[in-house]
Amino acid sequence: MPKQVYVETFDSGLGGWTGYEKHGVLRKLEIKDGVVTARSPFMLDANHAPPGAGYLNILAFLLTTENPEATAFVTPYGGKNNFVAGGYPTDFTNARITFRMKGEIDFKGSQLVLLAQSKLADTTANAVLTGQPIKVTKEWSDQTITLVPDEKQWTPLGGRWNKVKHYGYGPIKDILRDLNHDIILVLFPVNVVPVPPIEDMHNGVPGRDYDYDRTKMPTGYLSIDTVTVEFA
């Protein structure tokens, strides 16, 4: 029977937790004395731009299953994935996740939320737990969320115009029943303002196809001491 409580203290490394520099380019998260830190500028993710739910910043993510291609991509940056190696379940239905964290973030209208990503039969479905935003305090505190299968607490992300076949939709109960891709800490939504203004901004990727106003983006840092997942 799979173990029912996952605990990552980062005392022996990143444990598989990874960050992004930009689309397709990873970066190692900072780590010192068993504390992992994600620091701005945060990666701007345009995969879910309209007609999807919008743009977001990725702070840190963890693969939840062994995927040869993804694992080979992530391991040089995140190291050994203790979640996968530990044989923990992927049924996150009603799982309680507690982050012992601190930080200082200028949110610019966004919130820190958890993104759940799962490969379903015919698509990769993504949703963010907007019903339970995670509070960021200047001093260490424990912040707990519960991954309830309640559609009202989740915002499905979908995909941008050229990603709609890859990033689709699915019932949150199905996503949580086998959360087989990754969990991600994100800032959502973020406000992308092209410089100079353009009409078809959602057809391009900000930072690649056009410049955007960085002062509208969230800034700061988030430090994590411990992550605990208690499976139902």
* CA proximity to 115, closest of 126, 131, 99: 126
> How far apart, in whole angstroms, are the C-alpha atoms of residue 87 and residue 91?
12
pLDDT, tens only, 178-198: 999 999 999 999 999 999 999
3-class DSSP state for residue 153? helix
The dihedral sign for the CA sequence 230, 226, 26, 45: positive
pLDDT, tens only, 13-70: 999 999 999 888 999 999 999 999 999 999 999 999 999 999 999 999 999 999 888 8
CB 112 within 8 A of CB 187: yes
* CA proximity to 168, closest of 198, 125, 139: 125
3-class DSSP state for residue 154? coil
Instruction: Please state the domain extents for the chain.
Output: 5-230
pTM over cut 0.75: yes
pLDDT, tens only, 42-53: 999 999 999 999
> How far apart, in whole angstroms, are the C-alpha atoms of residue 108 and residue 12?
34
pLDDT at 18: 97
Structure tokens at 55: 């743009």
